[in-house]
Amino acid sequence: MTGTDLSQTGVIDANIAPHSDTEAHVELTESYAAHNYHPLRVVLSSGEGAWVTDVEGRRYLDCLAGYSALNFGHGHPRLVARAQEQLGRLTLTSRAFYNDQLGPFARDLAALTGKEMILPMNSGAEAVETAIKVARRWGYLVKGVPEHRATIVAMEGNFHGRTTTIVSFSTDPVATAHYSPYTPGFKLVPYGDFAALEAAIDETTVGVLLEPIQGEAGVIIPPDGYLQQVRTLCHSQRVLMMADEIQSGLARTGRTFACDHEDVVPDIYMLGKALGGGLYPVSAVAADGDVLSVITPGSHGSTFGGNPLAAAIGHEVVAMLQTGEFQQRAQVLGARLSEGLAALVGQGLVEVRTRGLWAGVDIDPEMASGREVSEALLERGILAKEAHGQSVRLAPPLVASEDDIDLLVDAFADICAG
């Protein structure tokens, strides 16, 4: 999809007609779907590449990309073709039987991660839950931690999903309020504080769980060398380094994995989002055999995990990543985005953090809130979303053009100019 100027996006009228298709869909959704999200007031109906169209016919540059689930854009022809082919053959068998898609997918994803085995699941949260189970079971069966005493060290400001166990170690009060009693077995330390992490590890520690870059927190990048320090510490203390690459992985940061920026290979990768190509939920845990072999028949499972349709799509994603094209695009487009936004620091933006084609933009509170900027971007034909008040996250699909990135920067410049 090629770039488009603001006049072509059909700038949205802030006063949407009360009986429009948009209002009808918003009213229907708000009436019958639980209010666990606070969406921007736009109703999308189709997408192609980096662009989407709403029910009124207006087009928008998608700069959220499903929180990195749409790294390859909307309806990538190669992925759609593979999914359609498999849809006509076989979609589900359950793991009660073998299927002809899982083995090739597992082999090639293992090769991509440099690991010996994968354990396929569906959602990112399931991958994290699975990794927690694997780490605990490894701690008891391999490391020799006394039963019921295993602990995992996690990071303040983390986001790993919204299941009961995962929110038990969240520091976001909105995510945790009124969900107690919380699951025990976790310690929290400040993200990027190596001394605090080192002090938290003891004989009960089986894993250190972290995002190489904290996405939900606003694209927070750890200090240089931090991941290397964590890797060395985990090795010396016989603790599993568990990297949640669900948002940061699969070319988003300009490398296949965010850990690659420090030449770090964790003991466990958690993968999801882009692994399904934006078409289907696919997630996985990847680790060597001495870790994943603790999972035995009956000790873990999923009806849909590793189904033929998921495996076929995931396998195609792996093949696309093996070319290096998308990693390179993230580097080039990310540098363009970083340069454009950096020029606006001090003119309405307080700070810009970028790694590949992923950015966290802190908004000057004297100008606007993150929500207000997201709404202003919407009016200019750009879809983005605030993160924790004063930050806006940007993650355009990796198939975006240079013109698209310039359009995004121009929209921010227009907002900053008032």
Active-site annotation, residues: 159, 244, 273
3-class DSSP assignment, residue 249: coil
Q: Which of 185, 189, 153 is nearest to 168 (CA)?
A: 185
Burial label, 413 (beta-carbon count in 10 A; 0-12, 13-18, 19+): middle
* CA–CA distance, 264 with 248 (Å, rounded to integer): 14
Report helix angle 370-379 to 402-416, nearest 10.
Answer: 120
Residue showing tokens 């699975």? 130
User: With helix as H, strand as E and coil as C, how does 307-320 read?
Assistant: CHHHHHHHHHHHHH
* CA–CA distance, 118 with 275 (Å, rounded to integer): 13
Phi, psi (degrees; rounded to nearest 5) at 160: -125, 5
3-class DSSP assignment, residue 78: helix
Are the C-beta atoms of 222 and 190 separated by less than 8 Å?
A: no
Are the C-beta atoms of 272 and 128 separated by less than 8 Å?
A: no
Q: Which of 207, 174, 208 is nearest to 191 (CA)?
A: 208
Tokens, residue 1: 């999809």
Collect all residues with Cβ–Cβ distance below 8 Å to 223 and sequence separation of at least 6: 192
- List Cβ<8 Å contacts ≥24 apart for 103-106: 104/311, 104/315, 105/311, 105/312, 105/314, 105/315, 105/318, 106/306, 106/311
Tokens, residue 49: 């590449």
Are the C-beta atoms of 157 and 171 separated by less than 8 Å?
A: yes
**Pure H helices in 213-323:** 226-237, 289-292, 308-321
